[in-house]
Structure 1
Amino acid sequence: RRTIRLKSERYYHPAHTWMQLADGEGIVGSDEFVVRALGVPENVELPPVGMHVNQGDPLWKIRKGTRTVVQMSPIEGVVLNANQALSRNPRLLHEAPYSKGWIAVIKPTALKANLKNLLHGAIAEVWMDQAKRLVIQRFSPRLGVTCQDGGELVDGFGDLMSDEEWEKFSREFFATE
């Protein structure tokens, strides 16, 4: 059970996706909260290269069993590349969500405006801590007992939820319809 990490150089969307700038392009992916909730994914449905996406639009899907997380794009732009390694080995997303588990590279078209809607630095840390506390409060007592003394959520904590609880959780935390 490790702490859910955030990377200081990344910007976070409230629906638990991230973006990191590199040479004027935005590398995007799922944050560790998503990975911890779902556990090891069985499938990652990547966006098509050339697709235009608006900030907050669905861009990729992660599946495990009957559960699917639809992830929102943290920025607006055109998909330049998608991480095909995830198609062959979706486990990479679980093992390294901030490195080998990246989802796509996007050429930003409204970066300055998009950054205003993203969380960064200390604000992102507070937001993630609040998300963890909300999960424990709203989905206790079952999930509360899965937390170690430091209040960290166990890997695959979504497996402990009923389908109804999972749907509620997904809507609230990932903006999934």
Structure 2
Amino acid sequence: MKNNVIEFKKKKADGKENGFHQKKLIGIDLPFDYEEVVSITGPEYVRNLHRDGIAVLPNEELKKNFADILLRAIEKPTFTKVSGVQIAENYYHHIGHSWVQPLQDGWVRIGIDDFTSKVFGPADPINLPPVGSFLMQGEMGWVLNRNDNEAPMQSPVSGIVFAVNDRIKEQPEITHDDPYGEGWLFLLNPVSLKIDMKALYLGKKCFRWIENEIQNLLKFLGPKSERLAATGGDLIDDIFGQFPEMDWDRLVETFLRTKENR
């Protein structure tokens, strides 16, 4: 760590010469230890530690910028419709029917897709992961509830939960009404985004996948799917509500690729 301290002091001096405020931008070279970094910067300056080092901001500066991050996150995307299912363009979709929106500064926003909204209908309470929890791609990240049924959903990427959408706690129905906008679930600080994205769908690949999922759903419904004829083949809203006799557990396992915890 001695070499890092020397490098840190050198950067402070260089920063003064170049007009930078050393309390606003600090370069940290590898290797480093969390406690050693805090002893230099003070805990109020540490936002996050990555293996590649980071430029850290004062906590008050982060708070000031956080509202802007949220505002950028909830901007309305453009959509493409596939058999009545809206797909947000430039969002990455996971096979478990959640989506990922890359944001500025490396954060990502997570939510459920329109296919889930149409198939499972409006949720009752949604069990969101607590802030600070670590989620692994492909493992259970949150749970949709409807009546006495549960639908665990997979996290589309790995990372640490940074903030949750508090509105979901009071108004879980907004995930159904506006799944890509106000109904987002949480913000995540990903740890292996480039790798995780290789398993996600985007663009035409996503359109083909959703079309295939719709065909699988029609097979799942069997003769009941005839009731979709009036819509021209587009999915009706709240399919489970229209066909409450459907096997919920099998629906969850087939399309969300998880199993309900009993």
Q: Which bin holds the TM-score, normalised by the shorter protein?
A: over 0.9
Q: Is residue 79 from structure 1 mapped to residue 164 from structure 2 by the alignment?
A: no
Instruction: Tell me the CA shift for residue 45 of structure 1.
Output: 1.1
CA distance in 2, matches of 1:12, 1:142: 28
Name whichever of 131-140 and 27-36 sits farther off. Answer: 131-140
CA distance in 1, matches of 2:203, 2:229: 25
1:53 to 107, 111, 135: 135
Q: Which has the higher helix share?
A: 2
- Normalised to the residue count of structure 2, the TM-score between the two structures is 0.64
CA distance in 2, matches of 1:44, 1:147: 32
CA distance in 1, matches of 2:230, 2:191: 43
Partner secondary structure for residue 85 of structure 2: coil
List gaps (5 residues or longer) in structure 1: none
Partner secondary structure for residue 47 of structure 1: coil
CA RMSD of aligned residues (A): 1.4
1:65 to 147, 162, 167: 147
Alignment of 1:74-113 (within 5 A): 74-113=156-195
Alignment correspondent of 1:162: 245
Q: Report if aligned partners of 1:147, 1:154 keep a CA contact under 8 Å in 2.
A: no
List gaps (5 residues or longer) in structure 2: 1-82
Give structure 1 regions of 4+ aligned residues with deviation exceeding 6 angstroms: none
Q: How many residues in Structure 1 have an aligned counterpart in Structure 2?
A: 175
CA distance in 2, matches of 1:147, 1:4: 16
Q: Which has the higher contact order (CA 8 A, sep 6+)?
A: 1
Once the two structures are superposed, what CA deviation does each residue of 1:25-48 show, in whole Å capped at 9, x if it has no partner? 110010011111121211111110
Q: Percent identity?
A: 25
Say which one has the larger Rg. 2
Q: Is residue 22 from structure 1 mapped to residue 106 from structure 2 by the alignment?
A: no
Q: Which has the higher strand share?
A: 1
Distance verdict in 2 for CA 1:161–1:80, change over 3 Å: same
